[in-house]
Structure 1
C-alpha cells in the first residue's frame, strides 16, 4: 500500500516504516530514512472528505507564521518530488509527510497541573500568533462541527426517530440533558454578541495534540485537520472536558469522575498567559461556560448516536455510547456544581500581572 507513497517522496521501498501514535482518526507511521526521520499520515476521508482543503489551510497558516513569527515551531508538510504536499494514492487514499521533531514526545493524559498548563499555553500561543490572520480565509474542513443548536436539534429529532427501547432506557439521562438546554440558549446569545469573536481555532485540543520536550515543556501544537474559523470556547472547552477529570470519557465507573480545581487553574493560567490581552470582556466572562458548552455537546452527540444505534461513533460493546453519554453528563453535573468556585479562579487569574501568568515552573510530578 505504501510503496507508491514512498516513491513519491523519493524513498526506497525498503524504508523502515512502523506504526506510530494513538490517534483514532488518521493512520500514522514513523519513517526512518537516510534523509532523516519523518511522520507519515493517511487522512481519513470518511471524516475529512476534502483533504485538499486541509492542505490549503495548513499552507496558508504556515506561510503567515513564517512571515510574522519565523522562530515559531510549526511543522509543515514535506513536498513530494513534484512539489505537492499531498499524495493521491487512489483507492488507498491521501497521504502527507511531516518532519519528525527530535526529542519530542506526546502524551495521552494530562497527568499533572503543570502538563495541563503547558498544553493550554501552547494552544493559547497558537491562537494569539494567528490573531492577525483573517480567520474567514480558512476552509471549514468540518462544517457545523461545534454548532451546538444543530447538535441539540439532532438530539431532539432522535427522540422521535431513534430506537424506542433505547429511548426508554435513556429516559433519566434524556431528562437531565433537556433540563440543561439553557446551555444552548446561552450559546445563541453569545453568538449574537459583537464581543464574541470568530478566530482561528484548533477545535481538537486533547493533550495528545501537543508536542512536549524531554523536560515537559510544550514545543508546539500538531494535528491541524480541524483548524478552521471558530470561537475560543471550542478550544478551551475541549481542554476542560478532557483534562479536568482523572478518567476519560470511556470510564463506566462514574464515581471516579472528578473536576480537579488545580487542573482548571492551570488551564486558565496557561491559556490566559497568552490570550488575556486578546480576549474581549464577553469572552473572558464565558471562560467557565466553555467547559459546560463542550461537555453538554459531547453528551448530546454520544446519546444521539446511541439512540440511532451507533451509526456515527460505532461501539465496541453493548451500550458503549450510552455509557459515554452518562460519563459526560456526570462530568457536566459536577462542573456546574463547581461553577461559582471556577468563576472565582478565572477572576483571580485575570487580575494577575502577565509575568505571573507565564511563570509556572512546577515539575511534572
Structure 2
C-alpha cells in the first residue's frame, strides 16, 4: 500500500488523519505543517516536493476552502496522486463522481449521479442528494442537506444544518410559469433542453419536450399537454380512463408478441404519483412518452394509407373487446348522442346569442330536414340491437401514428374521449374525415367530395381487423354510422358557430361555419351513394 502525506496538522488535518487510517488504504501516514510540533509532523509545507518519492500520495487538509483547492492544484502539478478520502461509514453512490483531494466524512451521504469537484468537503452527517453538482472547494457543513439537482458554487460553505433547495433554471421555449411548473412536476425541469409547440389539435395545448441525448444532441422524448378544462370538466376521470385503457393495452400487445412501448401510448405520472398535474390556474397537465420513428398525417394521401388506418382502428376495437366498457367514465356526457346534439343545436338556434343565424339559413334548414335521421342509431342502442363498446370517439387519421419505415399503422393517440360508445361512431368518424380529398375546413365546396374508393379501402381494412368481434347488426349499420357521425359533426360545428366558437379553436370568424359546410356536402353525397356503400360493406362482411 502507498504512503500518504497530509498537508495541514490542525484540527481538520487530524480528522483527515483518522479517516485515512480508517480506510486502511495506506501503509504510512505523515503530516506537514508550518507550526505544529508532534511525532506525525515530519516537516514544513515547503518540504512537500522533497517527500514525493517516499509519499507518492498527498492531500490538502485545510479548513479554508480556497487554500485547500490551491494546495490540491500544487500537489497535482508536482505529480502527486491526490486521492479522495471517504470514511467507511459514509454512503457514496457508485455513480457519483468525486474530484481529486475531496473528503467525505463520517456518515455523510453522496447520492446518485452527484458530482463533487476537487478539494470539496462533505462534512459529518451531511447529505448531497442525487444529480447535485458541488464545485471546487465547496464545504457542505455538518448535518446539512443539499437537495437534488442543486448546484453549489466554488468555495461556498453550506452552513451546519442548512437545507439548500434547487433554483429553477431557464428552459428555452417556456413562456409561462404554468408550463414551467408542469415540467418540474413531471421531473423534467432540471434536464429539459427546450420545449416547442407540437401537433395540430383543436382542443388541447400541446408541447414537445426535448431532452439531452448522447453526442451532445437533443431528442424529442416527451409530449406535454394542458388539457382544455372547458371541454373536459373532470380531468381526473379522463386520466383514469386513459391509464386504465393504455395499461390494459400494454398487456394485450405483449401477449400478442408486439412492442407495448411503440404500439400504445405510455402515460407518465407526476413525481408525487398523480395521473396529472394541476397548475396554479387550476388547469390540468399530463405527459406521455414520444414514440420515435413515427409519423402522423393530417389528411389521407393514398388508399393504402387509409386502409392501414382502418386496420389500426379495427385492431384497437378488437384489442379492447375484453375491457369492461361499463367501468369507464363518460367524460363528455352524450358525446355521440346525435339526438342530444340536435337538441343543443336547436337551443343555440333559438337563443342566437351572437346574431349569426341570419348568416347560415341554408345550413340550418339542412339540419332541420334530417331531424328523424338523428334518432336511427340511438333507437338501435336503446333496443339493445347495438352493443356498447370501449370506443375512441375521435378516429381521425391524425390520431394514428404510422411506422415511418413500414408505413403501417402503429399506435392510436389522442385518447381524451375514450368512453363507452358505439363502434359505428368510431368507424363513421374515420370515414367522415378520411373518405375525402378535401381538408375539413376547405372553403371551396367544389373541391369537397365523398370518395367511394377511399370508403371501400377503409371498410376492407376495418372489417379485416375487427370483423369477428362486430355483430351482424353493427355491420349492417356501418353506412349509417358514416352518414350520421358526419351529420353530427356538422351540427356540432354549426352549433359552436351560433354560440360564438366556445368549443373548437378557430382562426377566423366563420371558421366553424366553413367546417360545417364541408360536413353537410359529404352527407349529401353519402346519401346519393348509400346503396353502393351498403354493397361494399356486404362485400367485406
Q: TM-score, normalised by structure 2?
A: 0.61
Matched, 1:33 2:214: no
Other structure's SS at 1:276 match: helix
Conserved 8 A contact 1:8-1:87: yes
> In structure 2, how many angstroms separate the alpha carbons of the residues matched to 1:30 and 1:155?
36
Query: Once structures 1 and 2 are overlaid, which stretch shifts more, 252-261 or 15-24?
Result: 15-24
Conserved 8 A contact 2:294-2:403: yes
Matched, 1:63 2:247: yes
Unaligned runs of 5+ in 2: 1-176, 214-218
Conserved 8 A contact 2:449-2:521: no
Aligned residue pairs total: 350
Aligned to 2:306: 116
> In structure 1, how many angstroms separate the alpha carbons of the residues matched to 2:493 and 2:192?
43
Deviations 1:302-343 (A, max 9, x none): 222333344444654343333322221111101110111111
Conserved 8 A contact 1:183-1:292: no
**Structure number having the greater helix percentage:** 1
Matched, 1:302 2:479: no
> In structure 1, how many angstroms separate the alpha carbons of the residues matched to 2:454 and 2:518?
19
Matched, 1:254 2:445: yes
The Cα of 1:163 is off from its aligned counterpart by: 5.8
The Cα of 1:100 is off from its aligned counterpart by: 1.6
Conserved 8 A contact 1:3-1:13: no
Counterpart among 193, 198, 212 of residue 388 in structure 2 = 198
Name the CA shift for 1:41/1:156 in 2 (closer, same or farther; >3 Å).
Answer: closer
Other structure's SS at 1:4 match: helix
Name the CA shift for 1:14/1:323 in 2 (closer, same or farther; >3 Å).
Answer: closer
Aligned to 2:292: 102
> In structure 2, how many angstroms separate the alpha carbons of the residues matched to 1:16 and 1:146?
38
> In structure 2, how many angstroms separate the alpha carbons of the residues matched to 1:304 and 1:4?
36
Conserved 8 A contact 2:424-2:477: yes
Query: Once structures 1 and 2 are overlaid, which stretch shifts more, 197-206 or 30-39?
Result: 30-39
Unaligned runs of 5+ in 1: 351-365
Aligned to 2:476: 285
> In structure 2, how many angstroms separate the alpha carbons of the residues matched to 1:290 and 1:205?
13
Conserved 8 A contact 1:54-1:225: yes
Query: Once structures 1 and 2 are overlaid, which stretch shifts more, 288-297 or 80-89?
Result: 80-89
Aligned to 2:321: 131
Matched, 1:45 2:260: no
> In structure 2, how many angstroms separate the alpha carbons of the residues matched to 1:79 and 1:93?
16
Aligned Cα root-mean-square deviation (Å):
2.1
Conserved 8 A contact 2:231-2:503: no
> In structure 1, how many angstroms separate the alpha carbons of the residues matched to 2:502 and 2:330?
23
Name the CA shift for 1:169/1:65 in 2 (closer, same or farther; >3 Å).
Answer: closer
> In structure 1, how many angstroms separate the alpha carbons of the residues matched to 2:192 and 2:360?
53
Counterpart among 224, 232, 239 of residue 423 in structure 2 = 232
The Cα of 1:126 is off from its aligned counterpart by: 1.0
**Structure number having the greater strand percentage:** 2
Conserved 8 A contact 1:121-1:274: yes
Aligned to 2:458: 267
Q: How does 1:136-175 map to 2 (within 5 A)?
A: 136-162=326-352, 166-175=356-365
Counterpart among 408, 413, 418 of residue 217 in structure 1 = 408
Matched, 1:344 2:535: yes
